[in-house]
Amino acid sequence: MHLVSHNSTCTSKQFTFYRLENSNINSYITTESAVHHIAEDELVSGNLLFADGDALKTTDGTKTSLIARFSSIHSFAQLSRSEVIFTDFNNHCLRSLDRKTNQTSTYSGNCTNIGHRDGVDALLAHLVSVILDLMNSQQLISTIWGH
């Protein structure tokens, strides 16, 4: 089991990751960035996948690996073992990343214009979260900030 502790001061937003094994709690990663979203990594067994503001990262408890860096990643959803959809907050869109090929594409929105419009040419504004619909695992639900 993994635990996360948030220690915030006026100058630092520090997050410490802990692993609970055999009644022992051991610290293994500390980040100076605000961690917005954490989930079990579906591609790498035993790892945690997390968004720390401007990057999507994975950690195994001894090292952290950068997966993608974009403009303010707040949330993500793992559609499959290798496909991750994440919010690109400042670019107003959802992005798709295939972790096996490292290919990134726009999933929804046009990543250059802010707006409010549904459909094929959707315009989005300040996406803060994205989750999978439990009734339909290919359907995403997202929320926007301030609108």
- What pLDDT, on the 0 to 100 scale, is given for residue 17? 66
- What pLDDT, on the 0 to 100 scale, is given for residue 146? 46
pLDDT, greater one: 66 or 119: 66
* Whether 95 contacts 103, CB under 8 Å: no
Burial zone of 52 (CB within 10 Å; 0-12 exposed, 13-18 middle, 19+ buried): buried
The structure tokens listed for 55 are 């990057």
- What pLDDT, on the 0 to 100 scale, is given for residue 10? 45
pLDDT band at 142 (very low <50, low <70, confident <90, very high): low
Average pLDDT, integer, range 2-31: 61
- Boundaries of every domain in the chain: 35-144
- What pLDDT, on the 0 to 100 scale, is given for residue 134? 63
Q: What is the CATH number of domain 35-144?
A: 2.120.10.30
Is the pLDDT score of 130 beyond 50? Answer: yes
The structure tokens listed for 68 are 């993608």
Burial zone of 137 (CB within 10 Å; 0-12 exposed, 13-18 middle, 19+ buried): exposed
Q: What is the pLDDT of residues 38-71, one digit of tens each?
A: 888 999 988 889 888 788 999 877 788 889 888 7
Average pLDDT of the residues of the chain? 76
Which amino acid is it at 66? L
- What pLDDT, on the 0 to 100 scale, is given for residue 99? 94
Average pLDDT, integer, range 87-106: 88
* Whether 5 contacts 18, CB under 8 Å: yes
Average pLDDT, integer, range 76-99: 89
- What pLDDT, on the 0 to 100 scale, is given for residue 5? 58
Highest mean pLDDT among 84-88, 119-123, 143-147: 84-88
